[in-house]
Amino acid sequence: MGKIGGFEAPVITNEVYMEIEVLRKHGLSLRRIATEVGCAVNTVRSHLASGAKPKYERKKQRLAKVALYETYLRERQSAAHPLWIPATVLHREIVGQGYQGGLSQLRSFLRGIRPALPVDPVVCFETAPGEQLQVD
């Protein structure tokens, strides 16, 4: 459910919302639009009144299982710097400490803390005409 105006309205997909907009521009009644897209007349009315595309919002932010081990993971990675410890190794270590989550959740977390690789500068050089040949 999403908030539109000051009340809860059912969340519909972007495709249905666009279809509602197109049918309204063609002059169809609210009842006819509701029948065409398969929702209630009040839903059509509320989405036309809002003037904004529907957007899903998570009600409550969930605490990730990996959050309990965040300090340990950060310390391990900083101790190994400049090298990087693979997620599979860290997963084995924190499972031993009681971690219940999966490897993909751990990898997602590690992606966020991995330092960005430095960008190599582009070295431009000029040669005299006829010194070099370039073929594609």
| Residue-range domain boundaries for the chain | 2-50, 65-113
Q: Which CATH class is domain 2-50?
A: mainly alpha
Q: Given phi > 0 = left and psi -120 to 50 = alpha, else beta, which region is 8?
A: beta
Q: Has this prediction a pTM greater than 0.75?
A: no
6-33 mean pLDDT: 81
Separation CA 11–CA 130 (nearest Å): 66
70-78 mean pLDDT: 92
